[in-house]
Structure formats: C-alpha cells, structure tokens
Structure 1
Amino acid sequence: MFSPIKSTKVYEQVIDQIKNMIDQGTLKKGDKLPSERSLVQQLEVSRASIREALRALEVIGLIECRQGEGSYIKTSFQDNLFEPLSIMFMLEGSNQEEIWELRKIMEVEAAGLAAKRITGGQLNELSEITKRFMKSEGEAEAVTAEIDKEFHYKIAECSGNVLIFDILKTVATLVDHFIKDARKLIIVHEGNKEILFSQHNEIYLSIERHSSVEARKAMRIHLDFANKYKSERTI
C-alpha cells in the first residue's frame, strides 16, 4: 500500500504514490480512496498536505470528491480533455482544417480497427443506429445530427482502443465548438442527406463484412465529402 513520506514537497509525493498505485493496478477506475484520516496515518503527513494533493488531483481530472462520501478515481475522462485541447488550439493559432485533419486520421483508422474487432453484439448495435439514421428522413435536423454523432462514436468504441474513443470524442466536440452546427449545415443542404445516408450505410456494410480496407475507404470518402462542404462555410 502506501509508505511514509519524508519530503519538502509533500503533496507532490502523495500524488506520485497515488499515481503509482493506479499504474500498478492497486487502484482502478471507480475505486474509493482511503479517507483523509487514513491517508494521514499511512503516509505520516499533515491533513493539509493530503487535502492539497486531493485538490490537485481533482483539478487535473483524475479523481472526483463527493460531498459526504469521499474521493473516487474517475470512471470517465473525456470531459477533462476538452478544455486543455481547446485552449491549446487557440493559443497555438491553429485553424479549423487542422481539427478536421486529426479527426480524419483517427476516424479512418478507427473504422479499420472496428472492422477487425467488432463483436456480434456491437455489430447489432451499429446496425440499429444505421437503421435509425436511414429512417430519420422526416426528423428534425438536430435529431439526425445526434444519430450521426452516435454512429461515429459507436465505431470509435468498436475499435477496441479506449484512447481513440476518448480523444475522438474530444476532437468531435472541438469540431462542434469551433465550427458551429457543422453537421446541421451539411444535412440541411439539398441532396446532402441522401448522400450521407448512402455513405453511412457503406461504412456499416464494410464493417459488417469485416473488411478493414473497405471500411477505411468508406470512412475516408465520407469525411472528405463533409470536409469539402464545411470548407465552403465560415465559422
């Protein structure tokens, strides 16, 4: 478990020990940390140092502190990625094209991995999402856009790579944040909805055939189409 700390930067040492326990698998997502009193006793440090360490871990998004319940290792980290990435995007003076380039790289590969790794249950779920998307002809643009987003997130999930899934959701949020209503703008343009239906169906069929080559190609065609239309719009 924990070992006593002898250091001038006490709270940093507390953080390092908690990180090491996560790395070793002693602490996992959703686990509750020992109480402040227990940490004080095990680490032989002051309560102030423990609280400082917990505050720092909460700020970086590793733990969540629940009033009256204690501190827990977080189970989801997508929200933690958005703010630093969006701020970095603005500070670096990046343009919207760079976001789309990153998204394309990740989504094309995610489709290829999904074709190889998707399970029977996941394929059924993706099939249902595809059918709902195809049947959304008369729905409001916002509804179709949400199903579209769900489709892409499911493929990222089916890639079997949690980093791709987490980062892609963040990148998709950046797209929506910096390119306002991007999906809606594409959908409302005459003729685009039918093209999107066809492209999404081809992506699904390629994954159903477990063809990584075809899935990557279908996703690339779809994103190139979306990017071309997006380029004609302004933020």
Structure 2
Amino acid sequence: MENDLIPVEKIKVPEQIAEMLLKYILQGGVSPGDKLPPERTLATQLNVTRATLREALKKLEQLKLIVIHQGKGIIVEDFHNASIDLIFSLLVIDGEIDFKILENIFEARELFATDVARLAAKRSEKKDIEQMKILMEELVNTTDPIKIHLLDFEFFRQMALASKNIVYILLMNTIKTIYDKHLDLFLPSSTNLDTSLQQEILKAVINGDEEKAAQSARKFLQRGMSLLKSLNST
C-alpha cells in the first residue's frame, strides 16, 4: 500500500482524503476483510494530521466501506453492502464515467418511475396536476437543450411528489443529482427530444388511468436507455 498512496498537501480537506482512500478500495487496492494501515501510519503516508484522517475515515464508515474497531483496526467492507450514497463514487472514477453503472441507474429508474406514474394517476391531487401542466407547457415550448432536460426531470420529480411515496421521491432526487452533474452526456440528443410520451403520461395521470400512465412512462424510459447505449457506442 505504501507505493499506491502518495502524500497530499496539509491544506487538502478531509473529503479529498476520503476520495483517495475510496478510489483505492474500489479499484482493488485492498479486499473485503483486509485492514488498512493503523491511523498513525496512514496519516504519515498521506501527510495529514490524525484528526483530518479520522474525519475522512468517518465518511467512509458512513458509506459502510470500512468498519473501525477499537483494538482491531480499520477493516475494509464489501462495497456491495454499502449505502446508496456510494453510487456517486462508483459512477465517476478518475474523471471517467462508468457506463455500466449508468445503465444500472437507468434500469432502476425505469422500474420505479413506471410505478411512480401509476401511483400518480391513482393519488394525484388538483395542485399536483396543475403543476405538471405548467411544467409540460414549458417543456413543449422550449428549444433550449439544457432547459429541456431540466424541465423533463422536474416533470418526473413532480410526478413522484404526486405519487405520495416518500421513498420514490428521495430516489428521484438522488438520480436527479447524478443526472444534473453529468448533463453534458445527454445534450447531443436534446434538440430532437420528442415530448409526445410525456404528454401521454400527463393525460393518463389526469384521467386517473394507472395502466396507461405506467405504460407510457415505461416507453419513455426505455427510449432513454436506448439513447444511453447509443452514446456509449460512439
């Protein structure tokens, strides 16, 4: 490990130390069940104070990437047991997008967003419908690529709010954060974005047609997956 981790400037924040250690773990520098060097040794290697190191280690522990046992040391956990927050780190390593992880995100989005549309058709209130109508009008009338994507995601977020399911709402917020951060990946297709399927979803939600809302949402999300695969192949 001594040859893999290099000292960092003391002015670096704990988040940067945590990111370095996280990448080291995810890239196979250590295996689940292995121990990281003792705090004193690790702090010396990284050229940081033990207080700074502890703050960084706490972040990794919150992600469930490590477990700190008094008297036993810092033990590396299997990242498959980590929390959803780890997805941000898995998606981009050393500045490169992992398209397989991105596909996984889109697959998960297709599954739960389809149900979001169904629940929105079942549970939406007048105020939810009005807000979705406003967003749809803006979406139909704009030609700005960035605004199209922002409005598109806000439309689905509003639909999640209309579903009255807090888990779906929080999942949508998580995916939106990832999407916004890497918006440039999707901009090449923005000018050709057809809103007919979103309009179908809205109509079904207004009519309380759960099956039609879910069906239209699935078609729309599958189109997004096809787009992602085409981007990955270029």
Offset from partner CA, 1:1-27 (integer Å, 9 cap, x none): xxxxxxxxxxxxxxxxxxxxxxxxxxx
Instruction: Tell me whether 1:99 sits opposite 2:89 in the alignment.
Output: no
Report the Cα offset of residue 176 of structure 1.
4.5
1:132 counterpart (126, 134, 138):
138
Instruction: Tell me whether 1:226 sits opposite 2:224 in the alignment.
Output: yes
Letter paired with 1:217: Q
Report the Cα offset of residue 199 of structure 1.
1.2
Aligned to 1:6: none
- Residue 103 of structure 2 contacts residue 228 of structure 2 at CA under 8 Å; is this kept in 1? no
Aligned to 2:156: 152
Offset from partner CA, 1:38-91 (integer Å, 9 cap, x none): xxxxxxxxxxxxxxxxxx8xx96xxxxxxxxxxxxxxxxxxxx87433235579
Offset from partner CA, 1:128-149 (integer Å, 9 cap, x none): 1111111113xx2112221112
Deviant stretches of 4+, over 4 Å: 88-91
Aligned to 1:173: 177
5 Å-filtered alignment, 1:189-208, equals 192-193=192-193, 195=194, 197-208=195-206
Letter paired with 1:85: I
Report the Cα offset of residue 126 of structure 1.
0.7
Q: Structure 2 stretches of 5 or more lacking a match?
A: 1-57, 63-82
5 Å-filtered alignment, 1:32-181, equals 83-87=85-89, 95-137=101-143, 140-177=144-181, 180-181=183-184
For the residues of structure 2 that align with 1:232 and 1:126, how far apart are their CA atoms? 30
Letter paired with 1:124: E
Q: Structure 1 stretches of 5 or more lacking a match?
A: 1-55, 61-80
Letter paired with 2:217: M
- Residue 100 of structure 1 contacts residue 175 of structure 1 at CA under 8 Å; is this kept in 2? no
How many percent of aligned residue pairs carry the same amino acid?
18
Report the Cα offset of residue 96 of structure 1.
2.1
- State the TM-score, normalized to the length of structure 1: 0.57
CA RMSD between the two structures: 2.8
Offset from partner CA, 1:204-225 (integer Å, 9 cap, x none): 0011111110000000111111
Aligned to 2:189: 186
- Residue 91 of structure 2 contacts residue 102 of structure 2 at CA under 8 Å; is this kept in 1? no
Report the Cα offset of residue 108 of structure 1.
0.5
Shift in alpha-carbon separation, 1:89–1:146, aligned structure 2, 3 A: closer
Secondary structure (helix, strand or coil) at the match of 1:181 reads: helix
Shift in alpha-carbon separation, 1:180–1:145, aligned structure 2, 3 A: closer
Equivalent residues, number? 151
- Residue 186 of structure 1 contacts residue 226 of structure 1 at CA under 8 Å; is this kept in 2? no
For the residues of structure 1 that align with 2:169 and 2:199, how far apart are their CA atoms? 21
Shift in alpha-carbon separation, 1:222–1:113, aligned structure 2, 3 A: same
